[in-house]
Amino acid sequence: MNPSCLLSTSALMDCVRTFAWPSRSPLFLTCSDSVRLVHGSSLCSGRLEVRSNQSWSSVCEEDLDLNDTQVACRELGCGAPGLLQGALYGEGEAPVWTSELQCEGNESAVLDCRRSSSAGKTCSPGTAAGLTCTDPGGVRLVGQPSRCAGTLEIQHQGHWRPVEDRFKDWDLKSGSAVCQHLDCGSAVSVNRTDDSTDRPVWSVSVPCVKLTSGLRDCVGLDGSYKHSSAVDVVCSDLLPQPNISLSDGVFEVYQQGFRVLVGSDFTVTCSVRPQYPGGSFQLISDTKKPLNLTLPAVNHSAHFLLSSMGYTHRGNYTCVYHVDVYNSSFTSSQSPALYLTVGDLVTNLIIRVVVLVSALLIFDLCLFFFYKVRSHLSSVDPLDFRLSHTQESELDMCAAMFVPGLREADPNEGGDKRDESCGRNIPFVESQWFSVSPADIWIGSTVSQLNQ
């Protein structure tokens, strides 16, 4: 019987084939006549429908509990119930089941559970129960450093066994179904290998694999079958996602990434989980001046030294890993983005603020004392100097010329006396009133200027 034929028609007799040799692998089936999961990705996931009165009906999410879903998954030959969510696999066109399940959890079939009548019941939009049960079987690729390359094995009936390829039916299309199941992209190569001795294997219908994503649904049920062949698959997403980090620079962490000190040197490190030796790392940035640098991988990492951090270095940085294995070149997906910005460290900013505040305080103190001295000098009575404004100017000129023409008045002499070196008439002040010194001249000149 051709499995691919069964997937395209409901007439079983159209799929029967006859052979000249007797078969030694009878087909055993386990059917469920009361429950099914439709429009899912495998036998163990889909919208839950219950058979009643020769028709299939949807079940409301609110009518199911853990015991009900355990019985449904068990009847389907699947593992424990996982996700239960309304409209997860569409609303469907089937009518709503009018009974509410009241399973205890140990029943072998849904229709063995007690039920309560809910005549005329309807489900609210988006509440048709979608159920996902765990798949008791699994798929893996073994024998290579990467989980996305190796010998194909399937877990079935509690046993992990390789898949035989007696007729060399496996190709890139069927291999891609395996890679997609493992979330490893598409198949790059599919090869048949032979072991020295026969061993227990699983026989898988390749046409079935190409038409459905449920690999376990395509496994034959003859557990005693032995063969020496196996299937090796290499998927496109062979390499893990690399990591990216910042080191050796003066930097600090903030919400969006890292802040690097202007003018400093810093190092971006790309690394990958050890799998294959060699290879290279590519550092890419979306900065003002984009970077595209490549270094060989040493111990599964590479260090990119960037000098004199400036504003052109601000932006996102990502790493990509390249390696040649299995006679092909592989490229990893990009690492998570590392965002760098430029600026001063917080400590430097604090120091600058402290220095600026100190300078402002010193300036304020200088202004304070300056105006205090000015106020004190302005309070002196100008009559005590007995000098006119014009005479003050003359004294200023003499002081500027460093001429010692000012001296105390002689009480025996009166009137004015000309200082030849200065060329001005300078009055003599009686000693009992005022004695003029060079400092007095400077103060008087300063006061005069300030008053002007």
pLDDT at residue number 39: 79
- Average pLDDT per run of 10 along the chain, which is 452 residues long? 57 61 50 76 79 78 84 82 69 66 84 73 72 77 93 83 90 91 90 87 85 71 72 94 81 72 87 94 94 96 90 92 94 92 64 77 82 71 49 51 46 48 45 44 46 46
Q: Record the tokens describing residue 266, joined without a space.
A: 């810093």
CA distances 286 to 53, 251, 310, 313, 337, Å, are 64, 20, 14, 9, 10
pLDDT at residue number 241: 92
pLDDT at residue number 141: 93
pLDDT at residue number 451: 46
pLDDT at residue number 55: 79
Residue 418 burial by Cβ neighbours in a 10 Å radius (0-12, 13-18, 19+): exposed
Would you kindly state where each structural domain of the chain is located, as residue ranges? 35-134, 139-235, 243-343
Do domains 35-134 and 139-235 share one topology? The answer is yes
With b for 16 or more beta-carbon neighbours within 10 A and e for fewer, the 346-372 pattern comes to: eeeeeeeeeeeeeeeeeeeeeeeeeee
Cα 447 from chain centroid (whole Å):
71
Q: Record the tokens describing residue 59, joined without a space.
A: 């079940």
Are 133 and 81 spatial neighbours (Cβ–Cβ below 8 Å)? yes
Specify the CATH number of the domain 243-343.
2.60.40.10
Question: Minimal CA–CA distance to 95: which of 63, 131, 62, 52?
Answer: 52
Rounded Cα gap, residues 252 and 349, in angstroms: 13
Q: Give the pTM.
A: 0.53
Question: Which CATH architecture fits 35-134?
Answer: Roll (3.10)
Question: Minimal CA–CA distance to 4: which of 171, 154, 209?
Answer: 209
Question: Which CATH architecture fits 139-235?
Answer: Roll (3.10)
Are 78 and 134 spatial neighbours (Cβ–Cβ below 8 Å)? yes
Are 302 and 270 spatial neighbours (Cβ–Cβ below 8 Å)? yes
Are 25 and 14 spatial neighbours (Cβ–Cβ below 8 Å)? no
